[in-house]
């Protein structure tokens, strides 16, 4: 499994979001959930942020919000979208790797771990531990448990669609996704999954104290979020 294949997919004109309402609701929900963990006035990083449509809302709670996105076309859109917000900086992963140690109060990484192999993930969380100040918080969202299937994900999307007003579009979108590049990649590369003990062990080995959050960030309640404080 290589994250570069997934980066290329997310940088393409994919159809993961079934319509504009889904896309907006998806990013609004993530922003709301992430913001409640951010200490007031934090130096914050959102790693693998995607389109981050509601990043202004997150930035309001920070001194500086760094949006790090590996997909170059998405990154260009982010730069244009948030050019008027002096709190928001857009960068690529290579920029993060050379940041000063203990320069951040908060890091979020949501719905990224499943697209990384074990070596990539372990390298990244070691970097995050170096960047965080003592007792700084790393929020790891949307970790997929080993037993959660694609059918569970589909049901979560339909439930989210019913709540947010795009249920019929979600039904059509699921059918479209089945014949899409996303499904072919998911079948060929797979998604990296962890049980709670395994992810906790990896985070503790990297220098964090860890607890599982009561609820996941985002709409999929069967996935997991972990709160990791730098020791």
Q: Tell which residue, 203, 225, 54, 211, has the closest CA to residue 139.
A: 225
Supply the pLDDT for residue 2: 55
Supply the pLDDT for residue 86: 97
Supply the pLDDT for residue 185: 75
The pairing of beta strand 224-230 with beta strand 208-212: antiparallel
Query: How far apart are alpha carbons 207 and 202 in whole angstroms?
Result: 9
Class of the CATH-defined domain 3-230? alpha beta
Render pLDDT for 73-99 as a digit per residue (tens, 0 to 9).
999 999 999 999 999 999 999 999 999
Residue boundaries of the structural domains of the chain: 3-230
Supply the pLDDT for residue 100: 97
pLDDT for residue 52 is more than 60 = yes
Counting residues of the chain whose pLDDT is more than 90, the rounded percentage is: 79
The pTM (predicted TM-score) of the whole model is 0.93
Name the band, by pLDDT with cuts 50, 70 and 90, for residue 10.
confident
Supply the pLDDT for residue 55: 98
Supply the pLDDT for residue 202: 98
pLDDT for residue 188 is more than 80 = no
CA distances from 48 to 44, 78, 155, 163 (A): 13, 12, 25, 26
pLDDT for residue 231 is more than 80 = yes
Supply the pLDDT for residue 97: 95
Extract the tokens encoding 124: 């990244």
Counting residues of the chain whose pLDDT is more than 70, the rounded percentage is: 99
């Amino acid at each position: 499994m290589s994250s570069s294949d997934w980066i290329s997919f997310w940088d393409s004109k994919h159809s993961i979001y079934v319509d504009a309402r889904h896309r907006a609701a998806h990013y609004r929900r993530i922003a709301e959930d992430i913001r409640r963990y951010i200490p007031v006035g934090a130096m914050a990083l959102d790693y693998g942020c995607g389109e981050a449509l509601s990043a202004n809302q997150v930035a309001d709670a920070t001194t500086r919000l760094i949006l790090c996105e590996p997909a170059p076309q998405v990154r260009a859109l982010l730069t244009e979208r948030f050019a008027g917000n002096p709190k928001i900086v857009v960068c690529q992963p290579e920029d993060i790797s050379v940041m000063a140690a203990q320069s951040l109060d908060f890091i979020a990484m949501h719905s990224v771990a499943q697209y990384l192999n074990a070596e990539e993930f372990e390298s990244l969380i070691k970097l995050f531990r170096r960047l965080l100040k003592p007792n700084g918080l790393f929020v790891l969202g949307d970790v997929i448990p080993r037993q959660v299937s694609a059918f569970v994900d589909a049901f979560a999307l339909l439930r989210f669609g019913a709540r947010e007003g795009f249920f019929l579009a979600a039904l059509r979108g699921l059918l479209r996704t089945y014949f899409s590049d996303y499904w072919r990649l998911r079948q060929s590369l797979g998604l990296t999954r962890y049980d709670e003990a395994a992810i906790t062990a990896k985070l503790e080995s990297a220098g964090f104290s860890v607890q599982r959050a009561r609820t996941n960030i985002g709409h999929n309640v069967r996935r997991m979020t972990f709160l990791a404080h730098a020791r």
